[in-house]
Each structure stands twice: as C-alpha cells, then as structure tokens.
C-alpha cells in the first residue's frame, strides 16, 4: 500500500538502516538507480554516489545521531549515471521504544532549478553591469518617494560613496535637500497619470553650479497601475557651458564689428583734433588760460585714442605675434609693472611659480597685458589692502599650464558673475569695461580658457588654462 501511495510522488524516497544499507525505495528512486532489479541490501552511496563512500555532510548520518529531521540544501546524486544536484531531507524512523532504527531519505532533483538560478544570476549580473556602466544617473523610486535602487552614475552625480547612503531614503531629501516632495516634481504626475515627465534642475554646490536634465518613466504592474518610477539624470552642465560660450562668442563677434566701425570712424576726427591743438600751440602765442584749455583737449584726445586702441584690440585680437617663450616671464613682467600700485594700496603680492614650466608659443605683449589686467582688477577690489597670490603650475593630466590670481577682495556678486566678460560692462566709477572682454578674447586666441570662482565679500580667483601641445615639453626631468 505504501508503495502505491508513494508512486505518484516526484521525489525519490529511500529508506536506509544504520549501516547505510537500502531497506526500501519508491519507484522514482528505483528508476534513478538505473532500473536495478533489487537495491535492497546495497549501500546507498554505492547506488547513488558511485561507491565513493559515505558523503560528507550526509543528512541521513546526522539524522541517526540527532534523532531529528536533517536537511542538506545541496548534494550530488548520480541518476542514470549522470551527476545531478539534489536537495535531501532525512527523517528518522522510530521503533516502539522510540529508538531510531532507520531513516527515510527524500531526494528532490533541483538540477534544472539551479541551472535556472545560475542563468538568472548571470542575466542579473549582466544587467547590473549595464546598469552601473551607464554614465548617467538612474534612480528607481516607489510611490512614497523612497529610493529603491540607484546605479553608480547617480552616486557620482550626487557625490556619494556607497549605495547605502541613498537606498531606503526619500529622493527629495537626498537629491534636493528638501523635507517634502518638490512643488514641480514630474514624478507626481507620473504616479497619478502614468505618463513620463521631464524637468531641468540646477544644483548649487558652493560656487559651482550643476545643471541636470531629469526624465521620469513609469513602471506599471499587471493591473496597469504605476508602482514605481525610473528617474534618469543627465549632467548637462558641460553642454550648457558650451552653449553659453557659443552665444557669448557670437555676441562678442557682433559687438566687435560694431566696435571696429566706431573706432575707425572716430580715429580720424580725433587725430585731426589732436593735430589742430598741437598746430595752434606751436603757431600762436597763447595766454595761460587758453593754453590750459588746449592741454585739456589734448589730454582727453589721448584718452579717447587709448579707448579706440582698446576697441580695436577687442575687435581684432587675431593680429598677434606668437613666439616660443616661458609663461613665467610674462608673469614676472606683469607683477613688476603692478608692484608700485600694490604697495600704494597695501596689497601683499606673492608669486608661487613652478620651476621649469615648459615653453609655449604665445604673444608676450598681449599675455602680459592680460595678466596685468587681472592683477590690477584684484588690487582695485582691495581698497583697504589685502593679499594677492599669483601662482603657476603644469597640470600634467590636462596638459595645461595653469596660471591663477587669487585675492582677498570684495568678490563678485552672483548677478554680475555671468556678465564680467561682456564688453562695456563695468562696476567701476571710471572705465570702459573692455579689459576682461579683451582678456577673454586674447586667451581664446591662445586656445585657452578662463575660469572665475568668486564669492561676494570673500575674494576672487581667476584661473587661466593654456594648453601645451608638444609631448616633449611635458616630460619631467
């Protein structure tokens, strides 16, 4: 009867005695044994394990010792001569005195299950590698805005070291430092209406600004209800900066053409005015009052001529003379020219220049003028005195010579930061506002760039980065 009851059972059942000899098997175990006519009396390890002795970790051995059911999650069986992975459960069989006289060993073939689990893990690992390999940030959130999963790209964007810093926490608290869901959060609409959303978010981290393009996509269940949402973060800061640079370049080009036209139209009349004043002073004997007025006319004509020269420099910075030289010579010259002005305003000027900077092709006069402009601007920002450090070093990784001007002056307000390189923009009582525009144009023609970091009341740091194209020049001694 027991044989008939156990026939439909898919597991193999073997009853063994204390000597590990088979007492009874069900049809499944009999089939596994290779259709032996009689397994009774054979050692179980000879039948199922090809005679390699009692298996290590055998649950039947443990069941005989403990008198309790024992389990082995992974065991090797040889079924029809082929190695299979099985899960074993050994249950003790007691006599009328409660002694363990046998063990019923139930074996379940889990080979296919393990293979599926292996394939599932491989696919999971492959997807995880793709997930983490995406440079952009990916975050999965639930309807309560709890972070379920993130990739490594997101850790980088939000400057986190480990997944544990984000998983299980609110997205609005971790990403945007808020105590409630954002007012314009597209995820709200995604969860309520089941449609994708998109938003541009600006992260302010000190003086640095990061622009994120955030897209939201719904994850629905079998009932077409949105259970989770995927947030896709793209750092578009570099793209925005590039667009700003292109717009700035286009704007400067237009203003430059206008400035060139105005300069040429004014240069001849100013030259005539200056020549006429000098003719009158030489030709006629003038009284003291008239001489004084003519001197004023001549002085202002020269000032206007200087402004015209600046306009032409701004309009046509391409007329440069490049020579191979060392940047430190331009730095030393600019510092020497500004020395008296620094002393006058009690500004402590210090230089920190790396020795043996590689030579570079540059316009000595123009670059010297740019450096002098940055120094004098820093001095003007410290009317009560302060400190100015001019430094230069070679960035081997970026292959750039980096020249920095760091002061302890008034700093630049956020409203003015985006306008400092605009032509004719100035915060000074006197001045045309072309100095930084010309500096920007000169550095651009040197294939370099200018970076400005400033905070109102805490000083400014202007950094000039000039590329070094020759690999031989970059080699260390």
What percentage of the chain exceeds 70 in pLDDT?
81
pLDDT of 406 strictly over 50: yes
Mean of per-residue pLDDT scores for the chain = 81
pLDDT of residue 263: 63
Rounded-to-integer distance, Cα 211 and Cα 305, Å: 44
Model confidence at 205, pLDDT cuts 50, 70, 90, reads low
CB neighbour list of residue 214: distance below 8 Å, 6 or more residues apart: 186, 198, 199, 200, 201, 231, 232, 233, 234
List, in order of start, the domains of the chain with CATH numbers.
Answer: 2-111 (3.30.450.20), 134-235 (3.30.450.20), 240-315 (1.10.287.130), 323-474 (3.30.565.10)
Rounded-to-integer distance, Cα 195 and Cα 187, Å: 9
Rounded-to-integer distance, Cα 428 and Cα 381, Å: 10
What CA–CA distances, in Å, run from 184 to 178, 187, 428?
13, 9, 40
pLDDT (tens digit per residue) in 148-192: 999 988 898 888 889 899 999 999 888 888 888 877 888 888 988
CB neighbour list of residue 258: distance below 8 Å, 6 or more residues apart: none
278-287, 391-400, 406-415: range with lowest mean pLDDT: 278-287
Compute the average pLDDT of residues 417-432: 63
CB neighbour list of residue 73: distance below 8 Å, 6 or more residues apart: 87
pLDDT (tens digit per residue) in 425-451: 566 655 555 667 778 888 888 889 888
pLDDT of 7 strictly over 60: no
Q: How buried is 434 (Cβ within 10 angstroms: 0-12 exposed, 13-18 middle, 19+ buried)?
A: buried
Compute the average pLDDT of residues 452-473: 82
Across 122-136, 196-210, 446-460, the highest mean pLDDT is recorded for 446-460
pLDDT of residue 472: 46
Q: What tokens appear for 325 in the block? A: 């030289």
pLDDT of residue 1: 41
pLDDT of 477 strictly over 50: no
184-193, 251-260, 263-272, 320-329: range with lowest mean pLDDT: 251-260
pLDDT (tens digit per residue) in 27-85: 888 777 766 546 678 888 787 776 667 877 888 888 999 999 998 876 677 676 677 88
Which element (helix H / strand E) includes 264? helix 237-283
pLDDT of 5 strictly over 50: no
What percentage of the chain exceeds 90 in pLDDT?
21
pLDDT of 112 strictly over 90: no
57-71, 243-257, 338-352, 431-445: range with lowest mean pLDDT: 243-257
pLDDT of residue 332: 93
pLDDT of 335 strictly over 50: yes
Compute the average pLDDT of residues 192-207: 79
pLDDT (tens digit per residue) in 311-326: 666 556 556 788 999 9
pLDDT of 458 strictly over 50: yes
pLDDT of residue 216: 92
Model's pTM, two decimal places? 0.47
Which residues make beta-bridge pairs with 400? 395, 467
pLDDT of 252 strictly over 80: no
pLDDT (tens digit per residue) in 8-24: 677 888 898 998 888 88
Compute the average pLDDT of residues 124-138: 81
Compute the average pLDDT of residues 403-414: 89
What CA–CA distances, in Å, run from 89 to 15, 45, 60, 419?
12, 15, 8, 78
Compute the average pLDDT of residues 102-128: 85
Residue of 6, 42, 10 lying closest to 26 (CA atoms) = 6
Which carries the bigger pLDDT value, residue 186 or residue 2? 186
73-82, 117-126, 206-215, 451-460: range with lowest mean pLDDT: 73-82
């Amino acid at each position: 009867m027991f044989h008939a009851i156990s026939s439909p059972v898919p597991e193999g059942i073997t009853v063994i005695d204390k000597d590990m000899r088979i007492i009874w098997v069900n049809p499944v175990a009999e089939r596994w044994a290779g259709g032996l006519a009689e397994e009774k009396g054979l050692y179980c390890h000879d039948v199922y394990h090809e005679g390699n002795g009692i298996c290590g970790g055998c649950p039947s051995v443990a069941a005989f010792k403990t008198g309790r059911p024992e389990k082995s999650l992974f065991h090797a069986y040889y079924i029809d001569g082929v190695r299979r992975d099985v899960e074993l459960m050994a249950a003790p069989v007691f006599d009328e005195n409660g002694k363990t006289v046998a063990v019923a060993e139930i074996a379940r073939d889990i080979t296919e299950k393990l293979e599926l689990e292996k394939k599932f893990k491989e696919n999971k690992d492959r997807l995880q590698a793709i997930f983490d390999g995406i440079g952009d940030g990916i975050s999965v959130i639930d309807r309560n805005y709890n972070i379920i999963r993130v990739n490594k790209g997101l850790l980088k964007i939000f400057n986190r070291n480990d997944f544990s810093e984000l998983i299980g926490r609110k997205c609005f608290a971790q990403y945007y430092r808020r105590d409630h869901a954002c007012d314009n959060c597209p995820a709200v609409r995604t969860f309520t209406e089941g449609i994708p959303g998109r938003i541009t978010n600006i992260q302010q981290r000190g003086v640095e600004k990061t622009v994120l393009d955030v897209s939201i996509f719904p994850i629905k269940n079998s009932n077409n209800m949105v259970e989770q949402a995927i947030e896709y973060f793209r750092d578009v800061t570099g793209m925005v900066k590039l667009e700003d640079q292109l717009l700035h370049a286009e704007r400067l080009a237009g203003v430059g053409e206008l400035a060139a036209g105005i300069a040429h139209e004014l240069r001849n009349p100013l030259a005539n005015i200056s020549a006429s004043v000098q003719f009158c002073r030489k030709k006629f004997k003038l009284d003291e009052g008239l001489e004084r007025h003519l001197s004023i006319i001549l002085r202002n004509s020269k000032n206007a001529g200087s402004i015209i020269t600046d306009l032409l420099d701004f309009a046509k910075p391409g007329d440069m003379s490049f020579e191979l030289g060392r940047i430190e010579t331009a730095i030393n010259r600019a510092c020497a020219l500004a020395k008296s002005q620094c002393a006058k305003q009690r500004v402590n000027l210090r230089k920190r220049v790396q020795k043996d900077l590689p030579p570079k092709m540059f316009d000595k006069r123009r670059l010297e003028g740019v450096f002098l402009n940055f120094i004098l601007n820093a001095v003007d920002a410290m009317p009560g005195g302060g400190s100015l450090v001019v430094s230069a070093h070679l960035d081997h990784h970026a292959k750039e010579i980096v020249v920095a001007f760091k002061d302890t002056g008034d700093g630049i307000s956020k409203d003015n930061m985006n306008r400092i390189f605009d032509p004719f923009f100035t915060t000074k009582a006197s001045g045309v506002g072309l100095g930084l525009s010309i500096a920007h144009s000169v550095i651009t023609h040197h294939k370099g760039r200018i970076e400005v970091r400033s905070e109102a009341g805490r000083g400014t740091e202007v950094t000039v980065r000039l590329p070094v194209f020759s690999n031989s020049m970059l080699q260390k001694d």
